Structure 1
Amino acid sequence: MEINRLIRRLLRKHKTNCPYRLAAALNIEVWFEDLGEGTRGMFRRTLRRKYIVIHSGLSEAWKRVICAHELAHPLLHPGISRFWIDEHTFFCVGRYEREANYFAVRLLTSGDTVEDGDTVYNLFHRNGIPDEMIQFYI
């Protein structure tokens, strides 16, 4: 499904762009755990239960972005496990990660736009999104 259309559908149905509320509405539990330095978050599905695990050492802004990013995986890439792809194929998971980042940025900025004389940086600051994610907005 096209990402922007999916976001519009989620907003219309759930009346929020908050990734935590959307996760709850979609029956996905969100946990905060120490995942170490190399991992910011992950989506897991175990025995029909869905979980987003977010590294507890991140700032609140990054936790929100990671939640939105991980929320994208079951919506855009159902049944695809990055861990399985890494272990058993030569397929590049970069496309899925870029799509999840694009989804996160578009979801978190939905309902807000860059106005005349405004910048994307201002848009991101208004919406609590770290500047490092700007490349996924354009």
Structure 2
Amino acid sequence: MDIKRRARNLYQKYQTSCPFTIAKKLGITTMYLDLPDGVKGYQDRVLRRKIIVINQNIPEEEQRFVCAHELAHFRLHKDFSHYFITRHTRFPLGLYENQADEFATYLLTASEERGIDEPTEWFLARCGIPTEMSRYVM
């Protein structure tokens, strides 16, 4: 699975790297709720409707990354549910979470050019991406 290509294709199709705009164009409802500490967001399907729920208590910049991450689950892991995987299988969730982080990083950097001598941390900060995602920036 070429995650970088899939993120770039989505950017090119909608001419934006804004995950909120893309989610809206894909018919995905975005909701902001007061979620427990440690829960930044999740995605779900309710009666065939796709929903991204984001913790309203985290900073806006982080909400943007969370939205891109949850959008990635819809695009990359269509037939998988976090709850089903943890309760009924022995699949490692880390793989799916890493793929979603990678997709979100590529999507949010799709419209930005990295400066020749720009440090990775600065580039990620400028794009609103947590610095721990630096492993995905080439």
Number of the residue aligned with 2:61 = 61
Matched residue SS, 2:39: coil
- Taking the aligned partners of 1:47 and 1:3, their CA distance within structure 2 comes to 28
Number of the residue aligned with 1:129 = 129
The TM-score normalised by the length of structure 2 is: 0.93
- Count of matched residue pairs: 138
Matched residue SS, 2:52: strand
Of all paired residues, the percent bearing the same amino acid is: 40
Is the 2:8–2:106 contact (alpha carbons within 8 Å) kept by the matching residues of 1? no
What does residue range 89-108 of structure 1 map to in structure 2 within 5 Å? 89-108=89-108
Is the 1:32–1:56 contact (alpha carbons within 8 Å) kept by the matching residues of 2? yes
Number of the residue aligned with 2:14 = 14
Which moves more between the two structures, 1-10 or 13-22? 1-10
Calculate the aligned-residue CA RMSD, in Å.
1.4
- 1:81-131: CA deviation from partner (whole Å, max 9, x where unpaired): 011010111111110000000011111111324332211111112212232
Matched residue SS, 2:105: helix
2:98 alignment partner AA? R
| 1:34 partnered with 2:51 | no
Gaps of 5+ in 1: none
- Taking the aligned partners of 1:131 and 1:8, their CA distance within structure 2 comes to 21
Matched residue SS, 1:43: strand
Gaps of 5+ in 2: none
The TM-score normalised by the length of structure 1 is: 0.93
Is the 1:72–1:103 contact (alpha carbons within 8 Å) kept by the matching residues of 2? yes
Matched residue SS, 2:135: helix
Is the 1:23–1:71 contact (alpha carbons within 8 Å) kept by the matching residues of 2? yes
| 1:119 partnered with 2:130 | no
Higher relative contact order (CA 8 A, sep 6+): 2
Measure how far apart 1:9 and its partner are: 1.7
- Taking the aligned partners of 2:3 and 2:59, their CA distance within structure 1 comes to 26
- Taking the aligned partners of 2:117 and 2:11, their CA distance within structure 1 comes to 27
Measure how far apart 1:15 and its partner are: 0.8
